[in-house]
């Protein structure tokens, strides 16, 4: 597994710029020297969790275990190739910093579903319409929602508790910036209702079902 982490370090060092929750936009060297999210010695274990790649972008998800025995920290790196140079945007737990400056421009009319037969079309239609039962119906029996701090709600009862709190009386509306979709998983860089930049990962399950939603901020 150390080889994979060495690959991660090398990939970060090769970037022309890194956008970090703590430091904002800066160099890879500044990220390595100044951010707690650098995959270095403060972490006793760093586990690759999932990768979603399409076109010029690749999202790599990890689980960091602190050397001091603290709780696991979800961390995601969105690598992007561009004419102006390669870059990576880092997302993690919203508790790490009080707020975060905007990163990407919102793209009007952008949406995360491939077509109206995609489970994500039904999911966001139900979410925006504040239809809790319809949202719950779309998850697999063991489907889950994982927040940026690793708090996870699994199964219909757990999801009901979480979505009841999140949806309130008006539903949830998200503004979209970038989509990275490999047909199984769609990673959406977006702005949450609070205005905070995030990457939301939607993992499709069986036909017409969602397996998981994971959030990084």
pTM of the shown model: 0.95
* Count of structural domains within the chain: 2
Kindly compute the dihedral angle of the four CA atoms of residues 82, 50, 7, 148, in this order, to the nearest 10 degrees.
80
Report pLDDT digits (tens) over 96-124: 998 899 999 999 999 999 999 999 999 99
Counting beta carbons within 10 angstroms of the beta carbon of residue 62, is it exposed (0 to 12), middle (13 to 18) or buried (19 or more)? Answer: buried
Contacts of 51 (CB under 8 A, 6+ apart): 58, 59, 60, 61
Same domain, 130 and 187: yes
Q: Are the CB atoms for 215 and 146 separated by under 8 Å?
A: yes
Measured at the CA of 61, the angle between CA 24 and CA 210, to 5 degrees, comes to 120
Same domain, 78 and 147: no
Report pLDDT digits (tens) over 165-197: 988 766 678 999 999 999 999 999 999 988 999
Helix ranges (H only) for 82-208 are 119-128, 132-137, 155-167
- Percent of the chain predicted with pLDDT > 70: 98
Q: Are the CB atoms for 176 and 188 separated by under 8 Å?
A: yes
Q: Are the CB atoms for 128 and 172 separated by under 8 Å?
A: yes
Q: Look up the CATH number of the domain holding residue 153.
A: 3.10.450.50
pLDDT higher than threshold 70 for residue 95: yes
Residue 1 pLDDT: 53
Same domain, 76 and 125: no
Is 169 within the bounds of a domain?
yes
Mean pLDDT of the chain: 95
Is 104 within the bounds of a domain?
no
Same domain, 67 and 129: no
Q: Are strands 210-216 and 139-146 parallel, antiparallel or unpaired?
A: parallel
Is 105 within the bounds of a domain?
no
Is 98 within the bounds of a domain?
no
Query: What are the structure tokens assigned to 133, written together?
Result: 């039962």
Last residue of a domain, one of 91, 110, 143: 91
Measured at the CA of 109, the angle between CA 78 and CA 181, to 5 degrees, comes to 35
Identify the bridge partners of residue 214 per DSSP, sorted by sequence position.
146, 201
Is 113 within the bounds of a domain?
no
Contacts of 15 (CB under 8 A, 6+ apart): 28, 79, 85, 86, 87, 88
Is 172 within the bounds of a domain?
yes
Is 96 within the bounds of a domain?
no
What's the domain range around 149?
119-216
Is 145 within the bounds of a domain?
yes
Report pLDDT digits (tens) over 23-66: 999 999 999 999 999 999 999 999 999 999 999 999 999 999 99
């Amino acid at each position: 597994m150390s080889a994979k982490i060495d690959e991660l370090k090398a990939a970060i060092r090769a970037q022309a710029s890194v956008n970090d929750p703590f430091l904002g936009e800066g160099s890879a060297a500044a990220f390595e020297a100044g951010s707690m999210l650098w995959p270095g010695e403060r972490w006793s274990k760093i586990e690759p969790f999932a990768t979603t790649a399409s076109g010029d972008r690749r999202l790599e998800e990890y689980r960091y275990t602190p050397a001091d025995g603290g709780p696991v920290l979800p961390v995601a790196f969105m690598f992007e190739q561009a004419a102006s140079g390669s870059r990576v945007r880092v997302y993690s737990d919203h508790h790490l910093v009080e707020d975060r400056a905007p990163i990407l421009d919102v793209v009007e009319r952008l949406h995360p579903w491939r077509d109206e037969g995609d489970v994500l079309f039904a999911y966001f239609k139900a979410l925006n319409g504040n239809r809790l039962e319809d949202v719950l119906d779309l998850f697999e029996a063991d489907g889950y929602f994982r927040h940026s701090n690793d708090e996870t709600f699994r199964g219909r009862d757990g999801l009901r508790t979480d979505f009841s709190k999140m949806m309130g009386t008006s539903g949830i509306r998200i503004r979209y910036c970038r989509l990275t979709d490999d047909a199984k998983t769609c990673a959406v860089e977006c702005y949450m209702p609070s205005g905070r930049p995030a990457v939301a990962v939607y993992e499709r399950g069986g036909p017409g079902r969602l397996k998981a939603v994971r959030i990084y901020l």
